Structure formats: structure tokens, C-alpha cells
Amino acid sequence: MNTALIDSFGREINYARLSVTDRCDFRCVYCMAEKMTFLPKKDVLSLEELYQTAVALIASGITKIRLTGGEPLIRNDIMWLIKKISQLKGLEELTLTTNGSQLVKYAEQLRACGIKRINISIDTLDAEKFQSITRTGKLQPVLDGIDAAIDAGFESIKLNSVILKNRNDDEIISLIKFAKKRSIDIAFIEEMPLGDIIEHDRLLAFCSSEEIRQIIEQEFSLTPSDKKTNGPARYFSLANSYSKIGFISPHSHNFCGDCNRIRITVEGQLLLCLGNEHAVDLRALLRQQHYDPSQLIQAIQNSMKIKPERHYFNLAEQPQIVRFMNATGG
């Protein structure tokens, strides 16, 4: 029975981001440390447990699920899970966020499962810079992956770019031209202080959505759009183009007031807020000797009482959230 999930601030929560792995073929400088220790296999939810989690989420009132990670498409047998979740009654939308590296292989299969919208992360169109930002990534397979997604006929493709000052802020215009040429959307993200990194100073690298917008408006005219997705992006239309430009501004434009989201880490922790530690251990319930789905549903419903009102990020302080983004599920 699908009921609504309402938190104690009256917000309806209908969207879950389900992380299917903490592992990744890239090591993006804002997301991970160079040398990462990944979770031991025993701590990671099995595909069956991820499926049971999706079932319980939908039974609790979630209608939209986004699969994320780490890199979701490098998890073994991921298509088994995607096919199973896509067939669940009550699920209105299944989406995916990917770094694009495996899309040549998977784009058509994903589309065949009924996935209509997909987000692909790309921060630069310069091969050397791409390698320096992702540390282990190569640009060409991602460009080919974007083409494969376009050919597969997704209804909506959105590029995501995290902009770092003096690193890729000079590529904002070329990224927009790239998206515009393909009639796809692009959102620019402010870096968030998740996990302790030494590769760069997050405060010095911070590039606000307002600064990004000023750069864009030197070349393009933007008008506010009523486009709404399930995420926190604010959208603008670009003159003479089908592409929409989004801004995800966790610092400069707090979006908590209309938060509709929860996250499930691949360890089965239900996180109530990206910028807070409030969590519920779903894995313990999934792994009880006599698994009882109704307890999982009850735990998800009860979690609404501890969803915090908002996040507070301060780049000048040590990060309060020690989880890296890959472990959080972006």
C-alpha cells in the first residue's frame, strides 16, 4: 500500500537516491581522496538487499528512485537490479546518475528498462584537464557514452558539472555550447564539503552559482524556467535553444525548504539529509535472521521524525561530514 511520507516540517518525501556501490573507476578530486579505502564486501548491500530496499521504499510512499554511487554502472550484474526495480508497481520514475564511462555498453539496455531520464557528469571537455580532475578517467569514452545516450533516445539527458575556480571555470561556456549543440540540459554544481580532501582548498576553489551565471551571461541570455525535476536544481532557459541551464547551489541558495529527498547508502544507512549525520540502519533489519519487510517499511516511515530542517555548510571549517560523496550516494 503506497502512502505518503511526510516529515515533521510538513515536507512530502517521495524521492530516494539509492547508492548501489561506493566504488568507482574515477577518483574525482572533489569527491574522493587519491587513495581510497572502499567498503569491505560484507558491509555492502547485496543486489537482492538493494532490491528489497527499493520494494520497502515504494511501499513507504517513495515514487521516484535515482540510482547512484560511486559509479552505478561498474557494479557487477547491475542490469539485473535495474530491470527488477523498473518493474515495481508504484514506482513512477527510475533514473540514474553516471560518470558516463560505461554508457556505450549500457545506454540501450537502460533505455529498454524504461529509464527515461539520465544524468551524466562531465566537468571539462579538455582531455588533460579531464584526467587531472578525475585522476583515473579518460575523456573520450565519456564523450562516446554521451553520444550513445543520445542515440538510445532518452527523453531527457542532463550533464552535471562541478565548477572549481581556476580549474574548469574557463570551460563553462564551452560546456554550454556542447550541451546546446546536442539539445541536452546542463547543471552547474557548487562543490560541497563532504569528506576531508587535501588535493585542493575547497574555500579557494569555491565558485558560486552567481559567479557562474555572470560568466554565462557575458555570452548567453538566461531567463528563469519553470522546469522542475525531483532534484534541487533551479533552471533557466537559454535563448534559441532547447537546452536548459541548471544551478545546484547548496551554499548560495539553500534548497532545504522544499526538500523531497532521502538517501540510502550502499551500507544500508538511510540518510535523512546530505549535510547532516541523521541516519537509520536499514541493513540491520534486512539481515535479521527472519527478515520482516514490514519492519523495514516501519523504519522508513519512522525516520521522517528525525529528518532535519536544513543543512549548514561552512567551507572555512573542517568538514563536519566525514563521509565522502561516493559513500554518501550523490
Binding site for ligand SF4 (CB under 6 A): 24, 26-28, 31-32, 69-71, 99, 121, 325-326
Residue (88 or 315) nearer to ligand SAM, CB? 315
Residue whose C-beta lies closest to ligand SAM = 330
Phi-psi bin for 135: left (phi > 0), alpha (psi -120 to 50), beta?
A: left
Decide: is 230 part of the binding site for ligand SAM (CB under 6 A).
Answer: no
Binds 189: which of ligand SAM, ligand SF4, none (CB < 5-8 Å by kind): ligand SAM
**Which of 277, 262, 267, 192 shows the shortest CA–CA distance to 20?**
267
Residue (19 or 303) nearer to ligand SAM, CB? 19
Q: Which range touches ligand SAM (CB under 6 A), out of 33-41, 169-177, 184-192, 287-295?
A: 184-192
Binds 261: which of ligand SAM, ligand SF4, none (CB < 5-8 Å by kind): none
Distance between CA 152 and CA 161 in Å, rounded?
22
CB of residue 22 to ligand SF4, shortest distance in Å: 8
Binds 55: which of ligand SF4, ligand SAM, none (CB < 5-8 Å by kind): none
Binds 27: which of ligand SAM, ligand SF4, none (CB < 5-8 Å by kind): ligand SF4
Decide: is 82 part of the binding site for ligand SAM (CB under 6 A).
Answer: no
Residues numbered 51 to 70 that lie near ligand SAM (CB under 6 A) are 68-69
What type of residue sits at position 84? K
Q: How would you class 157 by CB atoms within 10 Å of its CB: exposed for 0-12, middle for 13-18, buried for 19 or more? A: buried
Distance between CA 44 and CA 27 in Å, rounded?
20
Tell me the sheet residues that pair with 34. Answer: none
**Residue 275 has which C-alpha cell?**
549535510
Give yes or no for a contact between 300 and 310, defined as CB atoms under 8 angstroms apart: no
Distance between CA 325 and CA 330 in Å, rounded?
6
Distance between CA 15 and CA 10 in Å, rounded?
15
Give yes or no for a contact between 280 and 267, defined as CB atoms under 8 angstroms apart: no
Residue (26 or 130) nearer to ligand SF4, CB? 26
First to last CA, the chain: 28
Q: Which of 13, 142, 192, 279 binds ligand SAM (CB under 6 A)?
A: 192
User: Applying CB under 6 A, which residues contact ligand SAM?
Assistant: 24, 30-31, 68-69, 71, 97-99, 121, 160, 162, 189, 191-192, 194, 325-326, 330
